[in-house]
Amino acid sequence: MRIAVVGSGYVGLVAAACFAELGHEVISIDNDTSKIEMLQRGEVPIHEEFLPELLQRHRGKQLQFSSELPEAVRKSQAIFIAVGTPSTVHGDADLSYVEQVSREVAGAIDGYKIVVEKSTVPVFTSHWIRRVMLLDGADADSFDVASNPEFLREGTAVGDFLYPDRIVVGADTERCATLLRQIYEPLTSGEYYNRADIIPNTTKAKTPPQIIVTSTKSAELIKHASNAFLATKISFINAVANICEAVGADIKEVCQGIGTDSRIGTRFLNPGIGYGGSCFPKDLKAFSSVARETGYDFRLLQEVMSINADQRARFLRKVRSALWTLKGKKLAVLGLAFKGGTDDIRESPAIEIVRSLLKEGCEIRAFDPAACDRSREVLTEDGICYKASAYEAAHQADAMLILTDWPEFAQLDLPRLKTVMTYPIIIDGRNLYDPRTMAAAGFIYSSVGRADVQTPVARTNGKAEKTATAAPGKNQ
């Protein structure tokens, strides 16, 4: 099928590349001509596993890049809208980009098309897209508007697209639903998984996936409700972790005990410094705004957001507790992206924590495998420098902070790390290490929802010797 994908950000570019991988003829559209030129040269603007391979495989063949939307509309049977929907000052979604694209599509339609929301949008957006297109002269029988929400996790977005838990299609006519079924048929029929050159399944999702056909309103609500529920799980387990710290329990053991319940599951039960990124913060605000407009006070969402904000403040208190005073302290920071596997720093808790530490007079030596360049654009304050490795960042540091869950941060050479640091202090916001391992390695170690490891200095025969112990109960 001939498909146009409008917007070449995280969602749009991954969708375009994956549709091409499924055998469709795809045009990726963006009004940023410099980005289009970059993609035409084969350069990849975002860090995403398997995306470079797909672009190299299909660029100039199944996948074209253009800034000419009207031409792409005329050539395509389906137009997916994947433009940004940032939060306004009031917390609702800014749909001005969606409206602009809808008007341009309306002016270019020359036969039956389906216009598909791929961006995360509030309920009733499909209604407004249709209304705008009719007002701009599109014939009522020449198009249908559908909702096809994405459930992609940054860092594993290609795998999530090709090996989804489910495919949700919101369509209000059978003609529209049939076209969307055809678009995803290589996945739902299992045909794609029989190929020899497929992208490997790293998500452990079952194949072939189920396709769920709903109304457009239901599909729009499914996306917001899904993200709100996942964010609720994160805030819930962070709240439980805070209780664990107060009573001396181990959050890892608690997570195992509740996560093995099939009704709950282990995913997203990962205590830390809170959620971030381009989806959860924005979508919870937008969902709360939608609820408010319907007359419902969704207080649970407010508490989820409040717990998330408090988790960052609690982490800063851990840093102060470990170091006493912060002014002039040299801190190694591992991780700037909001999660491992991506270079996205939007709403990153790591960035917010670094800003707070810089305001308190700390010197920050930061390392992230992918997000340093993007971080330079937003962290313009004095007092931060970027290093090429975790060990360079740790050199002569008074303490190390782990802020992003990159797998390589969980495999550091602890003896080497202890040698290069001024003081063996690690505050782990992602619980990447076992406290007993850190105690045996001689580190002062603080994590989330578990007892701190203290390394007191004892005097033996006039010589200072360090003995690592796990501190019971509440953080010191």
Sequential pLDDT tens for the chain (476 residues): 999 999 999 999 999 999 999 999 999 999 999 999 999 999 999 999 999 999 999 999 999 999 999 999 999 999 999 999 888 887 888 999 999 999 999 999 999 999 999 988 989 999 999 999 999 999 999 999 999 999 999 999 999 999 999 999 999 999 999 999 999 999 999 999 999 999 999 888 899 999 999 999 999 999 999 999 999 999 999 999 999 999 999 999 999 999 999 999 999 999 999 999 988 999 999 999 999 999 999 999 999 999 999 999 999 999 999 999 999 999 999 999 999 999 999 999 999 999 999 999 999 999 999 999 999 999 999 999 999 999 999 999 999 999 999 999 999 999 999 999 999 999 999 999 999 999 999 999 999 999 999 864 443 343 444 444 444 343 33
Torsion of CA 95, 100, 105, 108, to 10 degrees: 170
Both tokens of 69, joined, read 């939307």
Phi, psi angles (nearest 5°) of residue 250: -110, 115
* pTM of the predicted protein model: 0.89
Contact 271, 448 (CB under 8 A): yes
Contact 132, 95 (CB under 8 A): no
311-470 is classed in which CATH architecture? 3-Layer(aba) Sandwich (3.40)
CA distance 282 to 347: 9
How far does Cα 156 stand from its chain's mean position? 9
Which candidate, 73, 59, 172, 85, places its Cα nearest to that of 113? Answer: 73
For residue 463, what is the enclosing H or E element?
strand 463-466
The catalytic residues are: 279
Domain 223-307 in CATH 2.60.40.10? The answer is no
2-201 is classed in which CATH architecture? 3-Layer(aba) Sandwich (3.40)
Domain boundaries, the chain: 2-201, 223-307, 311-470
Both tokens of 130, joined, read 């249709």
Both tokens of 268, joined, read 């997203």
Residue with tokens 């957001």: 305
Topology match between the domains 2-201 and 223-307: no
End-to-end CA distance of the chain: 62
DSSP state of 360: T
Phi, psi angles (nearest 5°) of residue 140: -60, -30
The strand ranges marked E within 110-265 are: 113-117, 143-147, 166-170, 210-214
Both tokens of 187, joined, read 């996945």
